[in-house]
Amino acid sequence: MTFRQFALNNVLRNKRLYVAYFLSSMFAVMVFFTFSIFAFHPAFQTGDMPSSAMKGMLVSGGIIYVFSFFFVLYSMSSFLQSRKKEFGLLMLLGMSSRQIRRMTFLENMLIGFLATISGIGIGLVFAKVILLIAEKVLVIDETLNFYFPLEAIGLSFISFILLFFVISIFVTFILRTNKLVDLIKSDKKSKGEPKASIILTIIAVLLLAAGYGTALYVEGIQVVMALIPVVIVVTIGTYLFFTQLSVYLIRRLKKNEHIFWKKTNMLLFSDLSFRMKDNARTFFLVAIISTVAFSAIGTLFGFHSYLMKGLKDANPYSVVYESVEDEDVQKQISAIDQIIADENVTANKEVVEMNYFEIGIDYPVLIVKESDYNRFAKLLNEKEIKLKNKAVVVSDNQANIGNFQNEQKLMEIGIPLKSGEKVQAYSEVSTSVLQEMNAYYIVRDEVFKQLPSAVKQTTFAAWMTKQADEEQLVAIGEKVFDHFDEYHNAFSMDYTIYEIDKAYGPILFIGLFIGIVFFVSAGSFLYFRLYSDLDDDKEKFQAIAKLGLTNNELKKVINRQTAILFFAPIIVALIHGAVALTALMHLFDYNLVKESAMVLGGFALIQIAYFFIVRYFYTKQIQQAIK
């Protein structure tokens, strides 16, 4: 047996020990590879893609790579921790520390190589699925066909072999050769129960309270300024929360014998308190990573819906046209009629003369006949207006950007008639029936006749299609867009939204992708944490089972233990995420409750499913051990 064979056999004959480390490495490779399949897809290489999206992908690829580095490093070091005793034994047999380093280096390279190959292999299997999803999320004209991603394979292979090489070297350095006796006894010696400092506990509470308070209190542009300090404060607060506050709380619980000595609580809490030192670090990591994922996806999703909702509400018509000066209005309107007819779509249409009058403020104000207004309201299926008096003031309820619509002024001034009399508006109404930026009046038809001559006149026309599908609407929109290429004074909202989606799609996709990657890795951190305690747990439950522990009691303890592990960090992350999204709501002054609930709820559901799966296997393993 040569030294190399020894290292090789160490890995191959000890599969169970290495499997967690191997799987996490493979997972990292797979993620990176799927991403590069997507990024190197020929459809994006044609130059059709906006350069900002390409740059975004490059940056995201970098982020995933850096993240993989730390992910693998973390898995690797926790893996080596569990092998201390083995190293101790080898040193006892006379292995020099240089040889141990060489051994771990060889082992690592072997695992890294296998992980890279199988990560790419599995990535290839899922490639089609990923491309299909990408196609759905991204609004692109070409379909993303499956292709054999030579470039992606090359890039992933080289990057990860390099990554494992660097980490292998790195690890041989951090693998400090402790005293032999410590290594040999590493599984016997207790790590000691962590202690909490009262001062740090209080600081944790204060930091979190301050961070949350600020995030919830600030509004508008202040949110941006408060962002960095709040993130720092909350991050430190979270760290202290897990390392101090939680330890403090568990110790308090343990002191209370009425709780601690109650049935299986003793088994649960004693382990919890001892593992808290290791758990705290994992919890912190998972909480922060998940928060980033929640916030990123929530922001993207919320921003998207913010953008879309505003547009759709402000422009309820299928196509609108507003004349510009010196234009053959009739010709343009019939051109649009023709475009709609060409797509085999029928549409209702209303046309109105928009008359603007001088009433003594700095711009001409639109005054509309009640009957004209109601024709458009009917077209939209909106409530028609029945004037109780001579006039009302109307403001567009969607174009409400700032407060420069002057409804107030219009209420006060009133409308001067030819006769010199003045008609006062009696009420304010808010609709988006007519596409007018400024506030305007609706007057009774007989009042309109008494108005002086208008200073400006335009024609406004709107179409509402009947039973047209998305594709036809977009096609109409595109043609309208092309026809009015000079002034763009006619447009279709569906086409505009399509265009925005097309530009926004890659960002959304990348955001989602990275968010999910972060979230899934957070889940695997928890999984490794749980499984690194498996042997301890087996031993413990074996001991108790001999004394007599029913299956239900066993399940109860494992259930709670796993639940705490899986949900403690996620609940913290969900609260963090909810606070972050609330702050975002304040920034945009837009209600994101539905979107936030969907994103956070979705993640919570995934986590619950994950919990059930892991608990099932863990319980099974323990049950087998004590049989």
Residues that bind other proteins (CB under 8 A): 188-190, 257-258, 261-267, 270-271, 273-274, 540, 543-553
State residue 175 phi and psi, 5-degree precision.
-75, 80
CB of 115 to other proteins, least distance (A): 34
Of 105 and 260, which CB lies nearer to other proteins in the complex structure?
260
Closest CB 626 distance from other proteins, rounded Å: 10
Question: Which position has the token pair 């919990």?
Answer: 611
Q: Which is nearer to other proteins, 256 or 408 (CB)?
A: 256
Task: Report the residue number, 466 or 627, with the smaller CB distance to other proteins.
Answer: 627
Q: Which of 124, 125, 118 is nearest to 152 (CA)?
A: 124
CA distance 592 to 585: 6
Pick the closer one to other proteins by CB: 88 or 211.
88
- 555: amino acid identity, one letter: K
Q: Least separation, in Å, of the C-beta of 547 and other proteins?
A: 6
In whole angstroms, the minimum distance from the beta carbon of 92 to other proteins comes to 21
Please say which residue, 251 or 309, places its beta carbon nearer to other proteins.
Answer: 251
d(CA 241, CA 228): 20
Residue listed under structure tokens 């940056």 = 59
Which CB sits closer to other proteins, 287 or 530?
Answer: 530
Residues found in the chain:
627
Least CB distance from residue 270 to other proteins, whole Å? 4
**Residue 169 vs 543, nearer CB to other proteins:** 543
Task: Count Cβ atoms below 10 Å from residue 70 Cβ, excluding itself.
Answer: 13
Query: Any residues with CB less than 8 A from the CB of 604 and at least 6 apart, and which?
Result: 570, 574
Query: Least distance from C-beta 179 to other proteins, angstroms?
Result: 18
What contacts 408, CB < 8 A, 6 or more positions away? none
Q: Would you say 264 or 532 has its CB closer to other proteins?
A: 264
| Inter-axis angle of helices 493-532 and 51-81, nearest 10 | 10
Task: Tell me the DSSP string of 497-518.
Answer: HHHHHHHHHHHHHHHHHHHHHH
Least distance from C-beta 565 to other proteins, angstroms? 16
Nearest residue to 183 (alpha-carbon basis) of 95, 276, 105: 95
Cβ proximity to other proteins, 176 vs 258, nearer residue: 258
Q: Identify whether the C-beta of residue 518 lies closer than 8 Å to the C-beta of residue 570.
A: no
**Residue of 231, 250, 233 whose CA lies nearest to 291:** 231
Query: Looking up tokens 């709040």, which residue turns up?
Result: 230
Alpha-carbon distance of 286 to 565, in angstroms, equals 10
Please choose, from the candidates 439, 470, 612, the residue with its C-alpha nearest in 3D space to the C-alpha of residue 139.
Answer: 470
Q: How far is the CB of 104 from other proteins (least distance, A)?
A: 29
DSSP element (H, E) containing 585 = helix 551-588
Q: Minimum CB separation from other proteins for residue 213, in Å?
A: 38
Residue closer to other proteins by CB (options 262, 383) is 262
* Residue 543 CB, nearest approach to other proteins (Å): 4
Strand, helix or coil for residue 264: coil
- 382: DSSP letter: P
